[in-house]
Amino acid sequence: MSTSAFVLPVSLALHLLTSAAPGPQNTATAPSQEPAPKSPATSSVKAAAPVVSKLSAAQQATAAKLVGPALAEGHSYARLAELTDGVGPRLSGSESAEAAVQWALRSFQADGVKAWKEPVKVPRWVRGEERGEILPSERTRGLPLALLALGGSAPTPPEGVTAEVVEVSSLEELAALGDKVKGRIVFFNHTMAEASDYGRFAGLRGRGPAAAAKQGAVAALVRSLATASLRTPHTGSTRFDEGGPRLPAAAVSVEDALTLHRMLQGGTVKVRLVLGCSELPEADSSNVVAEVRGREKPDEVVLLGAHLDSWDVGTGAHDDGAGVVMVMEAARLIAKLPQAPRRTVRVVLFMNEENGLRGGRAYAEAHAKELSRHVAAIEMDSGGGRPLGVSVHAGAGGEALLRPWLAPLEGLGAAKFLVGHATGADLSPMEPARVPFVGVRVDSSRYFDVHHSMADTLDKVDPQDLSRSTAAVTWMAYALAEAPGTLARPTAPESDTPPPAKK
> Whole-angstrom Cα distance, residue 477 to residue 340?
12
118 annotated active-site: no
CA distances from 142 to 156, 252, 270, 471 (A): 21, 16, 10, 52
Calculate the dihedral angle through the C-alpha atoms of 134, 138, 140, 146, rounding to the nearest 10 degrees. -10
Q: Other C-beta atoms within 10 Å of 385: how many?
A: 24
The torsion region of residue 203 among left (phi > 0), alpha (psi -120 to 50) and beta comes to alpha
Phi, psi of 73 (to 5 degrees): -85, -20
> Whole-angstrom Cα distance, residue 372 to residue 435?
7
Annotated catalytic residue: which of 73, 353, 379, 431? 353
Q: What is the DSSP letter of 237?
A: B
User: In which order are the strands placed within the sheet that holds 437-442?
Assistant: 114-126, 278-292, 343-350, 297-307, 374-379, 437-442, 387-393
Cα four-point dihedral sign 467, 473, 476, 478 = negative
Residues in the chain: 503
Return the H-helix or E-strand segment holding 465: helix 463-482
For the chain, the straight-line distance linking the first and the last C-alpha, in angstroms and rounded, comes to: 46
Q: Are 235 and 251 contacting, i.e. CB atoms less than 8 angstroms apart? A: yes
Amino acid identity, residue 153?
S
Omega within 30 of 0 (cis) for the link into 493: no
On the CB side of 390, CA atoms within 13 Å amount to: 34
CA distances from 283 to 38, 125, 160 (A): 24, 10, 28
> Whole-angstrom Cα distance, residue 55 to residue 14?
18
Q: Are 408 and 352 contacting, i.e. CB atoms less than 8 angstroms apart? A: no
Phi, psi of 355 (to 5 degrees): -135, 45
Active site amino acids: 353
